[in-house]
């Protein structure tokens, strides 16, 4: 009997959490589209979320592009198909690895930072203070972060695409002995504009997820420093899982046709 | 001006407020005292609209505020100032931006004018312009409280709430903050509600004192009645005795 009760509790808890997140998302979206907006805070968040994430995303994508080139080369070597390295690196980076790895790295950096900041504001009554000062916390805290992350992530993904492909090119030409002109030609010839745009669309959704879960866990944190720590961890874990799940669903939809 | 009618609030099975009623006249300074866990902070959050009571009415100037949306009660909020227990200053903003927050965000006042307004509010709490550009992390506990007080009074509200205004301060700073509260309130002619367990503050600030015990007011009276009261619960609280009708968790028999 207790076994059934445990399963029941799990599902009730799951649906309750999903419901709370859905309501939070609705309020967040209303805050994004209803005035007043805070352009100065949106710009600040664009700097924090986008600009300061550039080094992390650039390094991650460069090495990923390089490793991808090596793996495809060694794998393709067994079937005498080393020539596909440039094409597969370009497709892999633009379609999947640029947006997904970039999203996961930004989730680790930005979701945690948002959850910690808003969580600290919650436990030190700063969010209550905002409310008593006639300022809607959703408009002042949540909406600017949602807007900034949704704008910044496609830009970061595009940067990741360029640097990732460059990482593959560097390893391909410097270490694997490919001719530079041929490598570039094979990259460009087989790369379609939809490969890039599909990755950027995904990245935009990932940006929304990253900011949403950072805000959600921070906003609902309680219990002092320990509660803020828990919110930070939950934000990163749930954002990462949701990014991977959303990636699967969007890939199914975008490439089904 | 403010009327509380049979406020009840529970968290799960725990009933925190059990039918709290109180009338606060215009210009009156009312202090709610009570031990930790007596429901003081929950009551204040209900009045501020940060929580919704399960039952009862909170009437401010003839309007029942229970269940009003934030936008519907924005006119009332604009007339309210609030000093939080730990100041609740915004970490990411400087002192003057904190003090002028509602001027900039809700009244649309420009940065230069808002800075002048903030400077005036800070002078009222005996702070000079050299703190204007500091961040809250650089302030001492007493200065933190003063900046919080300056933010609470900067919009010249006619209702001010104080949540444990002297908690964590040394006796001298406690006296200074109490006197600042009395002076500011007198200047503004505001109605105030303070919650505290500090009897020094009660004696300095209160026109009327209400004693909250286990979610109910069990004693209410003016300054003279407070000193001469013979309520055993209130006497134990005022004298800080571990033995008496108030059960203290963890106290030895």
B106:A134 CB<8 A: yes
With contacts defined as CB-CB under 8 Å, which chain B residues touch A136?
70
Looking at residue B248, its pLDDT comes to 66
Distance from C-alpha of B80 to C-alpha of A132, rounded to nearest angstrom: 8
Q: Which residue has the tokens 């609280």?
A: B237
Same-domain status, A111 and A196: yes
Residues A100 and A245: their CA atoms lie apart, in Å, by: 11
Query: Do residue A84 and residue A12 come from a single domain?
Result: no
pLDDT at A126 over 70: yes
A7 and A125 belong to one structural domain: no
Q: Which of B70, B78, B105 sits opposite A131 (nearest CB)?
A: B70
My answer on whether A240 and A159 are in the same domain is: yes
Q: Cα separation of B252 and B173, whole Å? A: 33
A126 lies within 8 A of chain B by CB: yes
> pLDDT band for position B253 (50/70/90)?
very low
- What confidence tens digit (pLDDT) does each residue in B43-101 have? 999 999 999 999 999 999 889 999 888 778 888 888 899 999 888 999 999 999 999 99
Find the CB nearest B74 among A130, A134, A140.
A134
Mapped onto helix, strand or coil, the DSSP state of residue B253 is coil
pLDDT for B7: 94
Assess whether A77 and A190 both reside in one domain. Answer: yes
> Which residue in the set B80, B86, B90 is minimally distant from A132, CB to CB?
B80
Helix (H) or strand (E) holding B170: none
Q: Are A102 and A125 found together in one domain?
A: yes
Chain A residues in contact with B78 by the CB 8 A cut-off are 134
Q: Are residues A115 and A16 in the same domain?
A: no
Give the helix/strand (H/E) hosting A193: helix A193-219
Residues 6+ apart with CB under 8 A from B91: A120, A121, A126, B135, B136, B137
Say if residue A217 is in the same domain as residue A198: yes
pTM: 0.88
Distance from CA of B44 to the nearest CA of A (A): 12
Q: Tell me: the pLDDT tens digits for A187-209? A: 998 888 999 999 999 999 999 99
Q: Are residues A70 and A96 in the same domain?
A: yes
Q: Write out chain A residues lying below 8 Å of B90, CB-based.
A: 121, 126, 129-130
HSE on the CB side for B126, CA within 13 Å?
Answer: 12
Domain residues for A70?
Answer: 39-255
CA–CA separation, A101 vs A57, rounded Å? 8
Is residue A255 a contact partner of residue A149, using CB atoms and an 8 Å limit? Answer: no
Question: How many domains does chain A contain in total?
Answer: 2
Are A15 and A70 in the same domain?
A: no
Pair A198, A78 in one domain: yes
Q: Are residues A12 and A87 in the same domain?
A: no
């Amino acid at each position: 009997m207790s076994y059934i009760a445990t399963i029941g509790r799990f599902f009730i808890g799951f649906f309750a959490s999903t419901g709370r997140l859905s309501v939070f998302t609705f309020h967040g979206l209303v805050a994004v589209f209803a005035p007043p907006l805070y352009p100065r805070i949106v710009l600040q968040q664009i700097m924090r979320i986008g600009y300061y994430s550039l080094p992390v995303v650039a390094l991650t994508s460069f090495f990923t592009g390089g490793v991808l080139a090596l793996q495809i080369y060694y794998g393709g070597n067994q079937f005498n198909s080393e020539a596909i390295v440039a094409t597969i690196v370009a497709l892999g980076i633009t379609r999947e690895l640029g947006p997904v790895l970039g999203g996961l790295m930004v989730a680790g950096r930005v979701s945690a930072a948002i959850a910690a900041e808003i969580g600290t504001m919650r436990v030190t009554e700063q969010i209550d203070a905002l409310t008593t000062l006639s300022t809607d916390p959703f408009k002042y805290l949540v909406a600017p972060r949602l807007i900034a992350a949704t704008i910044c992530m496609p830009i970061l993904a595009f940067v990741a695409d360029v640097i990732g492909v460059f990482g593959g090119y560097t390893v391909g030409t410097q270490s694997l002995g490919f001719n530079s002109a041929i490598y570039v030609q094979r990259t460009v010839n087989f790369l379609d504009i939809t490969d890039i745009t599909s990755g950027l669309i995904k990245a935009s959704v990932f940006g929304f997820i990253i900011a949403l879960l950072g805000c959600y866990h921070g906003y609902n944190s309680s219990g002092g420093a320990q509660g803020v720590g828990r919110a930070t961890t939950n934000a990163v874990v749930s954002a990462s899982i949701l990014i991977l799940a959303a990636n699967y669903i969007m890939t199914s939809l975008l490439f089904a046709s | 001006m403010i009327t509380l009618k049979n406020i009840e609030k529970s968290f799960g099975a725990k009933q925190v407020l059990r039918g709290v009623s109180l009338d606060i006249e215009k210009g009156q300074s009312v202090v709610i005292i009570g031990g930790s866990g007596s429901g003081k902070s929950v009551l204040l959050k209900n009045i501020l609209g940060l929580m919704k009571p399960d039952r009862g009415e909170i009437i401010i100037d003839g309007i029942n505020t229970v269940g009003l949306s934030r936008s519907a009660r924005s006119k009332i909020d604009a007339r309210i100032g609030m000093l939080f227990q730990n100041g609740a200053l915004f970490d990411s903003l400087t002192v003057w931006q904190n003090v002028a927050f509602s001027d900039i965000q809700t009244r649309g006042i420009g940065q230069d004018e808002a800075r002048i307004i903030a400077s005036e509010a800070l002078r009222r709490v005996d702070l000079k312009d050299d703190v204007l550009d500091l961040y809250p992390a650089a302030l001492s506990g007493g200065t933190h409280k003063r900046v919080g007080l300056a933010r609470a009074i900067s919009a010249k509200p006619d209702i001010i709430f104080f949540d444990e205004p002297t908690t964590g301060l040394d006796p001298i700073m406690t006296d200074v903050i109490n006197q600042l509260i009395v002076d500011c309130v007198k200047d503004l002619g505001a109605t105030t509600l303070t919650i505290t367990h500090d009897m020094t503050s009660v004696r300095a600030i209160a026109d009327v004192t209400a004693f909250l015990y286990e979610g109910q007011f069990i004693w209410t009276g003016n300054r003279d009645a407070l000193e001469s009261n013979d309520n055993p619960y209130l006497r134990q609280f005022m004298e800080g005795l571990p033995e008496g009708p108030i059960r203290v968790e963890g106290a030895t028999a």
